[in-house]
Amino acid sequence: MVLCQSGEAAAVSASGGEETEVPPSREDGAGTGQPCLCPAAGMEAAGAEERRVCGCCSGLPWPRCCKAPGTKKKASCPGLGLFYTVLSAFLFSVASLFLKKIEDVHSVEVSAFRCVFQMAFVLPGLIYYKTGFLGPKGKRIFLFFRGLLGSTAMILLYYAFQVMPLADATVITFSSPVFTSLLAWIFLKEKYSVWDLLFTLFAITGVILIARPPFLFGSNVTGIEGSYTDHVKGTIAAITSTVSGASTIIIIRKVGKSVHYFLSIWYYAVIGLIGCVIALFVMNEWSLPSCGRDRVFLILIGLLGLGGQIFLTKALQIEKAGPVAIMKTMDVVFAFILQILFLNHLPTWWTVGGALCVVASSSGTAIRKWQQSLKKSKQNKI
């Protein structure tokens, strides 16, 4: 999953490889330096009686507006956005734990159930906002690739969670901000500094410490889950998932605010579901879980993933992307704790070292993007 606000992205992968964009309530220009949509203070009574929507108050009718004369703006709770971020990280981590606990259910089938939950959540929003189901003609090709790459990231991430330690897969996905900066430099011609190169090298070092290829660490690799072949496959899947997730952020930036948030998620869910169903029939893996516990886990994965997405969106509504991206590193902490408590798998020092490298890299990238965003906003005010 990826955090994106005001064009500056801090990509953070989570369960399902989803990307969180600017919420619909912020697409009206609020908080971007555009003039408030409130009526002027001297408006006549007849016009003032009309119900008007204020762009700076998330849709509150005027005159119950933060800019209306004599109206006090409701004070926000300090740290609420960061609390939502931690809660989101916890829900995503628990969903990943349930994924590890499921037996005899392929990751593609789990992804299909996840897409069904996404569609059920987004469909009412599409109807309410009257966005249609296809989007603008000139943007459909971008929406298609956004859905294709986003769903691919989700499937590969679920596969990585199933075949390698939970903490290892989670740490690898945290290199997403680094790949986002690199792809933005290549395709969007954004600035790529020496610091960005350093953070990229840190992330690659962390991934190498987790993967521990034989040509560097020898053939006797300890502390992995299952066979080393599965560990390598999981590592490749996690890296590919991360790159795919970062690519969706580039597409979202390219499209901008011309496409509604719900429509973007709709493409993600529909294309993902179609791809999962086709893959399941080709692999002959489609089957409902025989165990009632696994069926409950599938439902909980969908609900927890949806809850994590909602709280992450709410966090971005009231907090800047930089602090949210840094606090999102709690994903790694929760992954380590849950792996030790419920999976009885102690992480190796190689994994801990790799986690430190990747977290330092992603946090550094997020802080730099945050500083650049603050500097740009100050220049715009001047």
Please write the tens of the pLDDT for every residue from 325-359: 777 878 888 989 998 898 888 888 888 888 888 88
Most confident among 69-78, 92-101, 247-256, 301-310 (mean pLDDT): 92-101
> What average pLDDT does this structure show over 297-308?
85
- The secondary structure of 172-228 as a DSSP string is HHTTHHHHHHHHHHHHS-----HHHHHHHHHHHHHHHHHH--HHHH-S---S-SS-H
309 contacts 17 by C-beta, under 8 angstroms: no
Output 311-315 pairs: Cβ under 8 A, ≥24 positions apart: 311/84, 311/85, 311/87, 311/88, 311/91, 312/1, 312/3, 312/14, 312/20, 312/84, 312/85, 312/88, 313/20, 313/23, 314/23, 314/81, 314/84, 315/81, 315/82, 315/84, 315/85, 315/88
Beta-strand ranges (E) seen in the chain are 3-5, 8-10, 52-53, 61-62
- In the numeric block, the tokens 């459909």 are attached to 140
**Which residue has better confidence, 164 or 32?**
164
pLDDT surpasses 70 at 370: yes
Percentage of residues in the chain with pLDDT exceeding 90? 5
Total count of residues recorded for the chain: 382
